[in-house]
Structure 1
Amino acid sequence: MSFLDQVDQALVTHERVHLNFNSVKLAFPCGTLLFRAKLDTWIAKYPNKLVGRYPTDPVVEELFQHIGVLGLLNLPHRKNAITHDQVVHWHFHSGAVMDPTLYKDLTLSLRDRIVHPQRELFADCLNEAVYNTVNHAYDFEVKGLPDRRLRKWWMFSQVKSGLVTVVILDLGVSIPRSLLQKPEWKDYARLRKRDGQLIEAAACSTRTSTRLPHRGKGLPEMLEFSENLAAGGLRILSRFGVFSFDASTKIMLRDKYYQAIPGTLVMWQIPISGGGNHEPT
Structure 2
Amino acid sequence: MKKISEDNKIRARRNEWNAIWRIKRPRNRIKRDRSSRTSIFSAPVKFDIFNERRNDLINFIEDIKNSVKNGCRSVLIDFSKTNKFISGGAIIFYAEMDRLLDIYPKLSIRCSIPLNQKASLVLQQIGFYKRINKPFKKSACNHDDISNWRVAKGHGVLGEQYDVILGHYDGVITPALQGELYAGLTEAMTNAHHHAYISRRSDGIITPKNYKPWWMFSQEKDGVLSVVFCDLGVGIPKSLPFSDDDGWRKWYLVLSRFGMQNLGDARLIRGAIRHSKTRTRLHNRGKGLTQIVETVNATDGGTAIILSNSGWYQIRGGEETYDDYPRSIHGTIISWQMPLGERSES
* TM-score of Structure 1 vs Structure 2, range by shorter chain: 0.7 to 0.9
Q: Aligned match of 1:191 in 227, 236, 260?
A: 260
Any conservation in 1 of the 2:195–2:242 contact (CA below 8 Å)? no
Aligned residues: 266
| 1:26 corresponding residue in structure 2 | 84
Cα 1:56/1:150, change in 2 over 3 Å: farther
Any conservation in 2 of the 1:233–1:245 contact (CA below 8 Å)? yes
Q: How does 1:32-181 map to 2 (within 5 A)?
A: 32-46=90-104, 47-114=106-173, 120-144=179-203, 147-148=207-208, 150-181=211-242
- Please state how far the C-alpha of 1:112 moved relative to its aligned partner: 4.2
Counterpart CA distance in 2 for 1:222 and 1:158 is: 18
Any conservation in 1 of the 2:202–2:330 contact (CA below 8 Å)? no
Deviating 4+ runs (over 6 angstroms)? none
The share of aligned pairs that are identical, in percent, is 26
| 1:234 corresponding residue in structure 2 | 304
Counterpart CA distance in 1 for 2:314 and 2:253 is: 24
Cα 1:117/1:93, change in 2 over 3 Å: closer
Counterpart CA distance in 1 for 2:140 and 2:192 is: 33
1:4 aligns with 2:74: no
- Please state how far the C-alpha of 1:19 moved relative to its aligned partner: 1.1
Counterpart CA distance in 1 for 2:141 and 2:207 is: 33
| 1:217 corresponding residue in structure 2 | 287
Cα 1:84/1:271, change in 2 over 3 Å: closer
Return 69-78 or 27-36, whichever deviates more: 69-78
Q: Aligned match of 2:333 in 255, 265, 274?
A: 265
| 2:275 corresponding residue in structure 1 | 205
What's the TM-score, normalizing by structure 1?
0.85
- Please state how far the C-alpha of 1:15 moved relative to its aligned partner: 4.8
Return 14-23 or 138-147, whichever deviates more: 138-147
Select the structure that is richer in helix.
2
Counterpart CA distance in 1 for 2:165 and 2:232 is: 23
- Name the amino acid aligned to 1:31: G
Gaps of 5+ in 1: 208-215, 277-281
Gaps of 5+ in 2: 1-57, 244-248, 278-285
- Name the amino acid aligned to 2:269: I
3-state secondary structure, aligned to 2:82 = coil
Any conservation in 2 of the 1:11–1:49 contact (CA below 8 Å)? no
3-state secondary structure, aligned to 1:74 = coil
- Please state how far the C-alpha of 1:66 moved relative to its aligned partner: 1.5
Counterpart CA distance in 2 for 1:70 and 1:106 is: 20
Cα 1:42/1:108, change in 2 over 3 Å: closer
Cα 1:65/1:110, change in 2 over 3 Å: closer
Any conservation in 2 of the 1:196–1:256 contact (CA below 8 Å)? yes
Counterpart CA distance in 2 for 1:105 and 1:52 is: 27
Any conservation in 2 of the 1:238–1:261 contact (CA below 8 Å)? yes
- Name the amino acid aligned to 2:140: A
Q: Which has the higher contact order (CA 8 A, sep 6+)?
A: 1
- Name the amino acid aligned to 1:170: D
Return 182-191 or 266-275, whichever deviates more: 182-191
What's the TM-score, normalizing by structure 2?
0.70
Cα 1:110/1:66, change in 2 over 3 Å: closer
Any conservation in 1 of the 2:157–2:189 contact (CA below 8 Å)? yes
